[in-house]
Amino acid sequence: MIHTMKVGDQRSYKRIISKEDVQKFAELTGDFNEAHFNEEYCSRTMFKKPIVHGMLVGSLFSKVFGCEYPGEGTIYCSQSFKFIKPVYPDMELTVKITVKEIVIEKNRVFFTTEIFDDENNLLLTGEAMMMPRKDTTHE
């Protein structure tokens, strides 16, 4: 797989995270922080209303890496996040990955990971490292 990849390759998709998604994530993780649910509490914070869990937003890259690019058999080795702006339920998000570096001899690919709102404002940025499935024709 790694031999078919090149620096600059990109993939993206759009996603909306609903209040129901936030509730399900809280049930899975046990994170019921008031910042995600309590309108009155949030009105007194810098966010003014409930925000989506940062890790729920960050998890949106998994769909691309595991199923689309590099795809099936990829091992997700590391991920960093920098949360730039809050994500609120029902915002349209664009999830984007870009190949940054390829290390063929170690079977490692480094990506820039970004999430934008519908006005192309950067909400989250980071870097991921993957181990694509081994390509037996190039070993």
What share of the chain in percent tops pLDDT 90? 91
Number of C-beta neighbours around residue 128 at 10 A: 22
What share of the chain in percent tops pLDDT 70? 96
Q: What's the mean pLDDT in 106-123?
A: 97
> Over 60: is that where the pLDDT of 138 sits?
no
Q: What's the mean pLDDT in 118-139?
A: 87
Task: Give the residue among 53, 111, 64 at the shortest CA–CA distance from 87.
Answer: 53
Superfamily of domain 2-133: Hotdog Thioesterase (3.10.129.10)
pLDDT at 1: 83
What is residue 69's DSSP assignment? S
* Segments making up each domain of the chain, as ranges: 2-133
Write the pLDDT tens digit of every residue in 7-37.
999 999 999 999 999 999 999 999 999 999 9
CA distance 74 to 63: 11
